[in-house]
Amino acid sequence: MQTVTYGKDYLRATLNETINEGKKIFIPYIMAGDGGLNSFIPTLQKLDEAGATAIEVGIPFSDPVADGPTIQEAGKRAQDLGVTLPHIIDILKEERTKIQSPIIFMTYINPIYKYGVDQFMLDAKDAGIDGLIIPDLPLEQTSLIEKARQQANIAQIQLVSLASSKERMEKIAAASEGFLYAVTVNGITGARQSFDDSLSDHFQYLKSVSPVPVLAGFGISTPDHVKQLTQYSDGVVVGSKIINLLYEKKFEEIKQLIKAADQ
């Protein structure tokens, strides 16, 4: 079997390959352990097969301040089943090679502190984690994890909000690795009805200053949303809708959503 070196270079290469093929990036988000730890790897495999470019994996946490109701409930279900960060890391250490897509952990900073920053980075590397999104760790505080993260060669993806100043957007884009996560609404995660046309200008600006691909996320829940937002951006992240479709076992609809990124 061919061995893959996971980490930030794997994430970058995979995203670039998609863009170079003239395609758009589609990153589904799942809550690890929703449906039980036994379904975790099979779910990742299904998303892999359905055409995900990379997969964002949420870590269940008691105070998910940026998560909307759908993701909070999924986190609660996983917590009720006793799923924790060490379980998720252990299972990936064993089974990471079954999944081709780069894997990005989405976790608040607290579970990382609790685990121990140095140990977390070592183990995340062993588990084949390629990127990290830590929404409550602002740019100014990244030094807290920087050394260990660099040693583990894991990308840190930055979030940029609609409300940031241009200077700040530029600073965040310059610091982001893998891709830049552009939040498309003011508020928390969760399905939305529609998106404003003015997002077009916002993305044009972000793309002009960002050295990495710019992805849109938050509220994207229909194939039409995916089509609209991939016109402005290099791709999309879809969370709440994917969680609902997995819960209802509507895998065909997941495929349709992913396909919409290529049209």
Ligand X SMILES: O=P(O)(O)OC[C@@H](O)[C@@H](O)c1c[nH]c2ccccc12
> How crowded is residue 211: how many other Cβ atoms within 10 Å of its Cβ?
10
> Is 56 an annotated catalytic residue?
yes
**Cβ–Cβ < 8 Å for 28, 57:** no
234 is an active site residue: no
Binding span for ligand X by CB under 6 A among 18-26, 94-102, 170-178, 211-219? 211-219
Give the tokens for residue 31.
């809550």
Restricted to residues 162-191, the positions that interact with ligand X (CB under 6 A) are 189-190
Helices (H) and strands (E) in the chain, counts: 12, 8
Q: Give the shortest CB-136-to-ligand X separation in angstroms.
A: 8
Do the beta carbons of residue 147 and residue 181 sit within 8 Å?
A: no
Residue from 71, 78, 157, 206 in contact with ligand X (CB under 6 A)? 71
Least separation in angstroms between residue 138's CB and ligand X is 13
CB of 94 or CB of 196, closer to ligand X: 196
Stretch that binds ligand X, among 12-20, 92-100, 163-171, 237-245 (CB under 6 A): 237-245
Please tell me the distance from the alpha carbon of residue 154 to that of residue 12, in angstroms, as a whole number: 11
Beta bridge partners of 29: 56
Rounded CA separation 137/107 (Å): 10
User: Any idea which residue has 């390629």 for tokens?
Assistant: 130
Which residue of 29, 115, 179, 203 would you call a contact of ligand X, by CB under 6 A? Answer: 29
- Of 110-118, 140-148, 235-243, 253-261, the segment contacting ligand X by CB under 6 A is 235-243
Q: Please choose, from the candidates 76, 155, 144, 149, the residue with its C-alpha nearest in 3D space to the C-alpha of residue 110.
A: 144
Q: Measured between alpha carbons, how far is 249 from 253 in angstroms, rounded to an integer?
A: 9
Q: Which residue has the tokens 């299972």?
A: 91
Strands of the chain, DSSP E: 25-31, 55-58, 103-106, 131-133, 155-160, 180-183, 214-217, 235-238
Binding residue for ligand X (CB under 6 A) from 7, 218, 233, 258? 218
| Minimum distance, C-beta of residue 193 to ligand X, in the bound complex (Å) | 12
Task: List the catalytic residue out of 9, 48, 67, 201.
Answer: 67
CB of 115 to ligand X, least distance (A): 19
Quick one: 111 or 135, whose CB is closer to ligand X?
A: 135
135 contributes a contact to ligand X by CB under 6 A: yes
| Binding span for ligand X by CB under 6 A among 76-84, 196-204, 205-213, 218-226 | 218-226
Q: Residue of minimal CB distance from ligand X?
A: 239
Two tokens, residue 187: 């508020």
Q: Which residues bind ligand X (CB under 6 A)?
A: 29, 56, 58, 66-67, 71, 106, 135, 159, 189-190, 217-220, 237-241
Known catalytic residues are 56, 67
